[in-house]
Chain A
Amino acid sequence: MIEQHLLLKRVDFIFVQDTDWEKILQKSIHRSRQELINELISSELKGRGGAGFPTGLKWKLTSEVQGNEKYVICNADEGEPGTFKDREILTRVPYKVLTAMAVCGYIVGASNGIIYLRGEYQFLEKPLNEAINEFSYFCKKINLDFTIKVFMGSGAYICGEETALFESLEGKRGEPRNKPPYPSVNGYRNKPTVINNVETLAHTYTIFKYGAKKFYDLGVQYSRGSKLFSVSGDTPKPGIYELELGMSLQDFVEEFGDGDTKAVQVGGASGFLVPRKKFSETAIGYQGKLIGISLPTGGSMMLFNSSRSMYNLLDNYLEFFREESCGQCTPCRIGCQQLLAGIKAVKKGDRPAPYLDKLLKLSETMQFTAKCGLGQSVANSFASIVENFREEMIY
């Protein structure tokens, strides 16, 4: 298909056919563990779930822990509003993910892999299991002791948080744990565990196949490689795109916007809303000053044009968080309720406009005090929306 006037360079790694997985797997497990870890570290691949933890380091940490019982878990609980890339990876190139898990198992010394699949992706369970059967057959053939199971989630957003995911896997209520200890030493069943997002695993496949350099050459400082973006909202071409990291939001909007883009939500409900005036100073990537602000994302890019009410948007997000908080910690459980009730009260005129400042303070407290990433990140969308579209909150 011919795309016209491509502003942003397309990358095509992830969805390239995975028919060579047997070769890649065999090749990889005949290399030394150290060599593979070094390859990953030099690629500077960071976690594609959104948090951006260096993948090579993560695997290295678990590989260094003593113990026979370790786990490799693929986090396929893709629940962030506006994200739908993992589903596509598991549908089109599942063997990449399976291979990456097995190589990871080889590196860290784990013989068990689990794919925690989002409850709503039940339709993927069967094809995934078929792929796993074939994969397992090959593993046996080459004497690789690694088994993979699919575990169906039950629909709670919080179970995408890694420690809540472990609890869920263990048959308990999906509630995040205290950290430390971290999963690399104490994860599923309190054993050393590597847990990675689907996309992260798929990228490691690329790295094992082509070497770190090819991956590293893409992107910019601190944000190397490519990334899948789930583009949705007011755009003429919604879909999934693999793009280089480090692009400016201005370029992104020029390519994907409908000409009337008012704001872009980067990173889903737990991400940031960037208003039009800040497009040119915002880049998509991990920390580090590039052109100004640099925003990480799990891939969700939601565009909004001038017909959209930012109040409704925030109301919707807060409704979501109020529902999807696990409810265990005070700042998140009650904070989300207060933020929602608060903006409603201001809108209705039951509370004066300066009450928004009190709410902003509260969202900051939530960021400092919540037990896990969910409660901590509510402030991202709340503050970025209230600060940039304050008048919409009031009038």
Chain B
Amino acid sequence: MSETIHITINGIPVEVEENTVILDAAKRINVVIPTLCYHQDICVAGNCRVCLVEVTGQKRLAAACATPCEEGMDILTNSLKVRNCRKHIIELLLSEHHSDCTKCYKNGKCELQFLASEYKIMTQDFIELYDEKVHTIDNFSPSIVKDDSKCIRCQRCVRTCEELQGVNALSVAYKGHRMKISTFYEKSMNEVVCTNCGQCVNRCPTGALVEKNYIEEVWEAISNPDLHVVVQTAPAVRVGLGEELGYPAGNRVTGKMVSALKRLGFDAVLDTDFTADLTILEEGSELLHRLKRALLDKESNVPLPMATSCSPGWIKYIEHMYPEYLPNLSTCKSPQQMFGALLKTYYAKVRNIDPKKIVSVSVMPCTAKKFEAARPEMHGSGYRDVDYVLTTRELAIMIKQAGINFAQLEEMEFDRLMGESTGAAVIFGVTGGVTEAALRTVYEIVTGREIPFKNLVVLPIRGMEGVRMSSVKIENPLEEWKFLEGVELNYAVAHGLTNAKKAMDQIKNGSASFHFLEVMACPGGCLGGGGQPIPTNFEIRKKRAAAIYAEDLGKPIRKSHENPEVIKIYKDFLGQPLGELSHKLLHTSYQTRERS
């Protein structure tokens, strides 16, 4: 039992448990203390000093985010001293910041701008320290733009990269007035270990780290009558988009999103979920194939456990950090890339459109997808499979630009031909979802029976624990799969690259007992992706996850292999999973990358 501490905040008595920080205590009584460097997902830094409060009797102010409440504390969050100091801090930050707000991508979304507005900083008494000559903008990465002149050195990005992702692409360099956030040898973000996951972008309070946006390019394509512009949307987008457009977290806006995309002028609005279902068939077959080689054919060097390959941040991570395990990755492309490849082949053929004239756009919860689409391997169709990748946030910007009253839109259905999907595909957007979807299909392929979980909900694999493991026992398999009789199929799920590292280290030291490993680079899976609405934090991720699971339950079909369009594409075009055409269009290879 922890002790109860009695304090007062602005004269209001509050009781809190031991070790509660002042910031949280204030929240209890609806007192908002402004913060900049604080973020729920990462450790407390206490370096921006915006959240300072006065503790009666103490000369110095205390950082509310970092100071635990002590018995009898009398705290003032809005005394004159606090206000004056806080204003000073904001003025100082502004004097170092490149305040060209109207030309900034984060205009209207910047936490420093909010504070400046809240405190009505109308003049700049301090001397302008920002010097145009010394800052360069790093926009070489296809995913992330880093502009140091906007940086307030809160180190949220550094802590995110280290704690959540274990990548350490960003760290602090130099000291004193030269102190900055930088990369290894100050190289471009494009040349270092950065996985493009965008978690830093999602946490940057200002415009120092933003996604590279392709909004104008997409508008241009849409308005070109000669081009056939097709958009696909990832499963996690539909549970996040609403937050950018006035809805509280956890709302599904699938129908309205489709409606809005049509209004934006896309020639076809299709669903990445379709290729998510396809991924399950390809990846599931691949897993069974590897198991067969290992268990039946007794081959000695079958790369098991097999790891998922849908998350491009994870792919780049393993290419840098564990290149010796690249053979363990499934060779399946991600659903986005499968979609792109099929769009300029299958779709073009069926719809009788010249693939040269198809512009393939995807809306993703992800910034790494921008990098993935630009990989040289991703030209299976003979063209660049995906031309432009937009994040959820960019889509929201386009919807606003087009003057669409989102809330009033009628709900519409995805267009057909690569627009049909199942509940199994929807859950790709949440950590554990790929595994669950795969189990629903693989178990049924092997045994001819549905997976023995009520409502097909594989409960043991759900949740937000960093690394989760479970297993399912195979009994009475069909004749073809007799070698799997009695086999405990073990699977592991990790989300966030720090957790991926834990799973990989198990593989490395030989203690891993699982056959299948699902990794999503971002915490919570795609729903917590770097391209999702800001803020994203633990509570919000939980709400988005609930929305995704609700979407799954609401789908008439909830198993990938029952998707009629998937059945049709194998019949009419691909032949069979792992077939020759599949291999050409749906599978890929990986490359070793340096660790710098």
Question: Could you tell me which residues of chain B, from 393 to 442, have a CB within 8 Å of some CB in chain A?
Answer: none
Whether the Cβ atoms of A327 and B176 lie closer than 8 Å is yes
Known: A338-B127, A365-B84. A371 touches B46 (CB 8 A): yes
Whether the Cβ atoms of B49 and A369 lie closer than 8 Å is yes
Q: Which of A158, A322, A337, A361 contacts B96 (CB 8 A)?
A: A337
Q: Tell me if A173 is interfacial: C-beta within 8 Å of chain B.
A: yes
Known: A325-B177, A329-B48, A337-B129. A365 touches B68 (CB 8 A): no
Chain B residues with a Cβ closer than 8 Å to the other chain, count: 39
List residues of chain B with CB within 8 A of the CB of A367: 60
Contact pattern, A 316-350, Cβ under 8 Å of B = 1, otherwise 0: 00000111111111110111111001100100000
Q: Say how far A316's CB is from chain B's closest CB, in angstroms.
A: 15
**Of residues B48, B126, B155, B175, which shows the largest number of chain A Cβ atoms within 10 Å of its Cβ?**
B175
List residues of chain B with CB within 8 A of the CB of A335: 92
List residues of chain A with CB within 8 A of the CB of B60: 367-369, 376
Q: Tell me if B47 is interfacial: C-beta within 8 Å of chain A.
A: yes
- Count of A-B residue pairs with CB < 8 Å: 115
Known: A345-B127, A362-B88. A327 touches B178 (CB 8 A): yes
Whether the Cβ atoms of B95 and A336 lie closer than 8 Å is no
CB-nearest residue of chain A to B84: A365
Contact pattern, B 220-243, Cβ under 8 Å of A = 1, otherwise 0: 000000000000000000000000
Question: Could you tell me which residues of chain A, from 338 to 380, have a CB within 8 Å of some CB in chain B?
Answer: 338, 341-342, 345, 351, 358, 361-362, 365, 367-371, 376
Contact pattern, B 64-101, Cβ under 8 Å of A = 1, otherwise 0: 00111000000000000100110011001101100000
Q: Say how far B45's CB is from chain A's closest CB, in angstroms.
A: 7
Whether the Cβ atoms of B49 and A329 lie closer than 8 Å is yes
Q: Tell me if B29 is interfacial: C-beta within 8 Å of chain A.
A: no
List residues of chain B with CB within 8 A of the CB of A338: 92, 95, 126-127, 129
Whether the Cβ atoms of A334 and B52 lie closer than 8 Å is no
Q: Tell me if B185 is interfacial: C-beta within 8 Å of chain A.
A: no
Q: Tell me if B353 is interfacial: C-beta within 8 Å of chain A.
A: no
Q: Say how far A114's CB is from chain B's closest CB, in angstroms.
A: 23
Whether the Cβ atoms of A330 and B47 lie closer than 8 Å is yes
Known: A335-B92, A337-B96, A338-B129. A324 touches B175 (CB 8 A): yes
Whether the Cβ atoms of B175 and A327 lie closer than 8 Å is yes
List residues of chain A with CB within 8 A of the CB of B52: 368-369
CA distance A352 to B44 in the complex (A): 40
Q: Tell me if A156 is interfacial: C-beta within 8 Å of chain B.
A: yes
List residues of chain A with CB within 8 A of the CB of B171: 173
List residues of chain A with CB within 8 A of the CB of B81: 368
Whether the Cβ atoms of B96 and A369 lie closer than 8 Å is no
Q: Tell me if A171 is interfacial: C-beta within 8 Å of chain B.
A: no
Known: A338-B129, A371-B63. A326 touches B95 (CB 8 A): no
CA distance A321 to B176 in the complex (A): 8
Whether the Cβ atoms of A330 and B49 lie closer than 8 Å is yes
Contact pattern, B 517-552, Cβ under 8 Å of A = 1, otherwise 0: 000000000000000000000000000000000000
Whether the Cβ atoms of A336 and B47 lie closer than 8 Å is no
List residues of chain A with CB within 8 A of the CB of B48: 329-330
Question: Could you tell me which residues of chain B, from 18 to 74, have a CB within 8 Å of some CB in chain A?
Answer: 44-50, 52, 59-61, 63, 66-68
Whether the Cβ atoms of B89 and A369 lie closer than 8 Å is yes
Q: Tell me if B174 is interfacial: C-beta within 8 Å of chain A.
A: yes
Whether the Cβ atoms of A331 and B153 lie closer than 8 Å is no
Whether the Cβ atoms of A333 and B177 lie closer than 8 Å is yes
Whether the Cβ atoms of A368 and B176 lie closer than 8 Å is no
Q: Which of B68, B95, B174 contacts A334 (CB 8 A)?
A: B95
CB-nearest residue of chain B to A325: B176
Q: Tell me if B295 is interfacial: C-beta within 8 Å of chain A.
A: no
Q: Say how far B213's CB is from chain A's closest CB, in angstroms.
A: 29
Q: 26 A–B contact pairs at CB < 8 A?
A: A173-B172, A178-B46, A322-B177, A325-B179, A327-B153, A327-B175, A330-B48, A330-B93, A331-B49, A331-B92, A333-B177, A338-B92, A338-B129, A341-B127, A341-B129, A342-B126, A345-B127, A351-B127, A358-B125, A362-B126, A365-B84, A365-B88, A365-B89, A368-B85, A369-B88, A371-B49
Top 8 closest pairs, chain A to chain B, by CB: A327-B179, A178-B66, A334-B92, A365-B88, A328-B47, A178-B46, A341-B127, A325-B176
Known contacts A330-B89, A333-B179, A338-B126, then 14 further A-B pairs from the complex at CB < 8 Å, ordered by chain A residue? A321-B176, A327-B172, A327-B174, A327-B175, A330-B153, A331-B92, A333-B153, A342-B126, A361-B84, A361-B88, A362-B126, A371-B46, A371-B47, A371-B63
